[in-house]
Amino acid sequence: MNIKLLLIAASLFMVGCGDATRTESAADFVARMEVEGNELSKEASAAYWVRSTYITSDTAILAAKAGERGLAFESAMVKQAKQYLGTDMDPDTTRAIELMLRGSSAPAPDDAALRAELSAILTDMEGQYGAGKYCNAEGVCKELQELEAVLAESRDYDELLEVWKGWREVSPPYRKEYQRFVEIGNLGAQEFGYDNLAELWQGGYDMDSKTFTIESRRLWDEVKPLYDELHCHVRAKLSETYGADKVALDKPIPAHLLGNMWSQTWDNIYDIMEPFPGVAPVDVTAAMQSQGWDEIKMTKTAEGFFTSLGMPALPDSFYKNSMLKKPRDRNVVCHASAWDIDNGNDPRVKQCVEVNGEQFGTLHHELGHIYYYLLYKDQPSIFKGGAHDGFHEAIGDTIQLSMTPSYLQEKGLMGEITEGHEATINKQMKLALEKIAFLPFGKMIDEWRWQVFSGEIAPEDYNAGWWKLREEYQGIEAPVARSEQDFDAGAKYHIPGNTPYTRYFLSFIMQFQFHKALCEAAGQEGPLHECSIYNNKAAGEKLSNMLAMGQSKPWPDAMEAITGQRAMDGKAITDYFAPLNVWLKEQNKDRSCGW
E-assigned strand segments in 10-83: none
393 assigned to active site: yes
Packing angle, helices 357-375 and 389-401, rounded to 10: 130
Catalytic residue among 231, 364, 365, 392: 365
Catalytic residue among 148, 229, 303, 393: 393
What is the spatial distance between Cα 587 and Cα 235, in angstroms, rounded to a whole number? Answer: 12
Catalytic residue among 248, 336, 464, 578: 336
Backbone angles phi, psi at 142, to 5 degrees: -130, 140
Contact present, 322 and 348 (Cβ < 8 Å)? yes
Residue 341's region, left for phi above 0, alpha for psi from -120 to 50, else beta, is alpha
Contact present, 112 and 476 (Cβ < 8 Å)? no
Q: Both ends of the chain: CA-CA distance in Å?
A: 33
DSSP conformation class of 21? -
369 assigned to active site: yes
Contact present, 91 and 459 (Cβ < 8 Å)? no
What is the spatial distance between Cα 384 and Cα 390, in angstroms, rounded to a whole number? Answer: 14
Residue 419's CB is within 10 A of a number of other CB atoms, namely: 11
> Which residues, 6 or more positions from 535, have their beta carbon under 8 angstroms from its beta carbon?
308, 309
Alpha helix positions (H), 103-208: 112-130, 144-153, 157-167, 175-191, 197-202
34 assigned to active site: no
Catalytic residue among 366, 434, 447, 471: 366
183 assigned to active site: no
529 assigned to active site: no
What is the spatial distance between Cα 568 and Cα 575, in angstroms, rounded to a whole number? Answer: 15
Catalytic residue among 494, 539, 561, 576: 494
Looking at residue 125, its amino acid is M
Residue 521's CB is within 10 A of a number of other CB atoms, namely: 18
DSSP string for residues in 453-483 = HHTSS-GGGHHHHHHHHHHHHH-EE-SS---
Catalytic residue among 335, 364, 388, 529: 335
Catalytic residue among 231, 364, 369, 515: 369
Catalytic residue among 504, 522, 529, 539: 504
What is the spatial distance between Cα 589 and Cα 433, in angstroms, rounded to a whole number? Answer: 20
Residue 399's region, left for phi above 0, alpha for psi from -120 to 50, else beta, is alpha
**Strand 141-143 versus strand 253-254 pairing type:** unpaired
| 3-state SS string for 292-339 | CCCHHHHHHHHHHHHHHCCCCCCCHHHHHHCECCCCCCCCCCCCCEEE
The catalytic site residues sit at: 335-336, 365-366, 369, 393, 494, 504
